[in-house]
Amino acid sequence: MAKCPIIAAVGLVSAALVTQTLTAAEVVTPASASTEAASSGANGGKTLGFVVKDWMPAVYETKFMDECPAGLNISNDEIWWRDLTKQQRSELTQDGLITTLDRWFTARSRGPNGEDICINPHLITDDPPLLTVEGPTAFGINLDGNVDGNATPNSCAHENFSSPDGVPGVDNQLYRLIGCIYGYREQGVIDINANEMRRTSGLAMILIEVEGVDNERNDDDVIITFYRSIDQFPLDSAGNVLPYASYRVDYTDAGPRYGDSIKGRIVDGVLLSDSGDVQLPYYGNYNYMHPVIRDMSIRLDISEDGGQSLGLVSGYYDLEQYLYLTGGLGPVISTGNFSCPAFFEAAKKMADGYPDPETGECTHISSSFEISTYAAFIIHPEQTDETETAER
């Protein structure tokens, strides 16, 4: 039924990995192999480290697609194709000899003067409206604090979801926007492709450091900091990410390029955070961005053996950034099956966070993302400096 198992996943036992210096006094054994790992974090206790491998919008799918009663959206080139005359179709396809991909490139340039309508979506106003999610259930959390969907100082009025567990007040307008688009659903490849590009390029590597961990199963006060790594995933012979690798934090002279922190806690091996504004690197489908996710929080079921830990990141995503990402999807958008103009139009209506003081229009959209992580050692520059490097 559900594509995302994260909310339902319970009972994964905890363990993670310690980040630390390599000085003789502080070297440790891995947490998975030993509970003796001991390195002082910023506020005492151990430090756990994770590297994010997958990052994709959390889309709740039912067996019979009840959330999309009108079906899924049709593709951009189908919309374009539908309006062509038979003669135009014959000319454009050389009597059917041109491939679908070629057709898609042409379709994308269907602005009045041949403009790219994903970069200039406002040029087309008569596409069929985007079909959006009408179901009652979504992954995510209550971001605006209410369950009735009314506007608050930081949100616009919108319809709330309930979680798969029945918790009301879930805000996830991004899901409402993309949930009936084939490319974002389980069989789609938009985010699979993005994850693959990240896996093989080493760009936008997100590190999660959890400091002040006194007890890896239950700790009511930890600090969670998000960094970017300058190192790439090490892969095994099958191309899978290897756990327990070391990743250096991206630093400038002024400090880490990323490094926003939020408070959190660990409950029965599940890392839970408060919310805060967090800037993260993002790369996928040829786009590199630095979005700030407002009121962001994380939930991570920590794997005991350092293997894959699954989690959910929720917060208000900057709409302009998300639309920039969508407009720049590149060739993969051909597999997405949606109209850019209709998508952009619907997105503005779905935005539900942080209204513009002047226009009253919301600038952010509530969202939740599934993530997968692996245990990792997070290396800060001072650790590298302190470590004696072998001359050999």
Partner 1 sequence: MSFKTYIRSCTAIALTASLFFLSACSEPEPATNGAPPDMRLLTSEQYRNIIHDVFGEHIEIAGRFDPLVRTDGLFAVGARSAPITPKGFEEYYNVARSIARQVVNEENKLVLIPCEPVDASRADEACSRQFFTDVGRALYRRPLTDSELETAVDASGKVADELGGFYEGVEFGLTGLLVTPNFLFIIDATEQDSSAAGGVRLTGYAKASRLSFLLWNTSPDDMLLEAAAAGDLHSEKGLVREVDRMMNSIRLERGVRAFFEDFLDLERFENLEKDTIIYPAYSINAAESAKEQLLLTIVDHVVDKDAAYPELFTTRETFMDEHLGRIYKIPVTRPDGGWERYEFPADDRRAGILTQMGFLSLFSHPGKSSPTLRGKAVRELLLCQKVPDPPAEVDFSLFNDPNAPSRTARDRLTAHSTAPSCAGCHKLTDPIGLGFEQFDSIGQFRVAEQGVEIDPSGDLDGLAYSDAKSLAQAMHDHPGAPACLTNQMYSYAAGRAPGRGEREFVRYLEANFSESGHSLKVLLRNIASSDALYMVTKPEQGPDGVRAASLKDSSNKERGS
Binding site for partner 1 (CB under 8 A): 17, 19-20, 22, 24, 27-30, 32-34, 36, 231, 234, 236-238, 240, 242-248, 306, 377-379, 383-384, 387-390, 392
Tokens of 173: 């307008």
CB 206, min distance to partner 1, A:
16
Reported in sequence order, the residue ranges of 198-286 that DSSP labels E, i.e. its strands, are: 205-213, 219-229, 245-248, 251-252, 255-256, 261-267, 270-273, 276-279, 282-284
Is the Cβ of residue 1 or residue 33 nearer to partner 1 in the bound state?
33
Q: CB within 8 A of 90, min separation 6: which ones?
A: 96
Tokens of 373: 């992580």
Is the Cβ of residue 258 or residue 344 nearer to partner 1 in the bound state?
258
CB 153, min distance to partner 1, A:
44
How many CB atoms within 10 Å of residue 351? 29
How many residues are given for the chain? 392
SS3 335: helix
Q: How far apart are CA 355 and CA 365, in angstroms?
A: 10
Q: How far apart are CA 139 and CA 378, in angstroms?
A: 30
Is the Cβ of residue 24 or residue 254 nearer to partner 1 in the bound state?
24
Is the Cβ of residue 69 or residue 234 nearer to partner 1 in the bound state?
234
Distances (CA, A) of 31 to 45, 233, 244: 13, 20, 10
Q: How far apart are CA 160 and CA 145, in angstroms?
A: 11
Is the Cβ of residue 150 or residue 240 nearer to partner 1 in the bound state?
240
Is 209 in contact with 51 (CB distance < 8 Å)?
A: no
Is the Cβ of residue 63 or residue 392 nearer to partner 1 in the bound state?
392
CB 159, min distance to partner 1, A:
45
Distances (CA, A) of 219 to 13, 19, 149, 269, 370: 14, 17, 33, 9, 23
Is the Cβ of residue 32 or residue 339 nearer to partner 1 in the bound state?
32
CB 313, min distance to partner 1, A:
25
CB 365, min distance to partner 1, A:
36
CB 387, min distance to partner 1, A:
5
**Residue holding tokens 């491998």?**
53
CB 24, min distance to partner 1, A:
5
Characterize the bridge pairing of strands 287-289 and 245-248.
unpaired
Is the Cβ of residue 202 or residue 328 nearer to partner 1 in the bound state?
202
CB 31, min distance to partner 1, A:
8
Tokens of 85: 């005359």
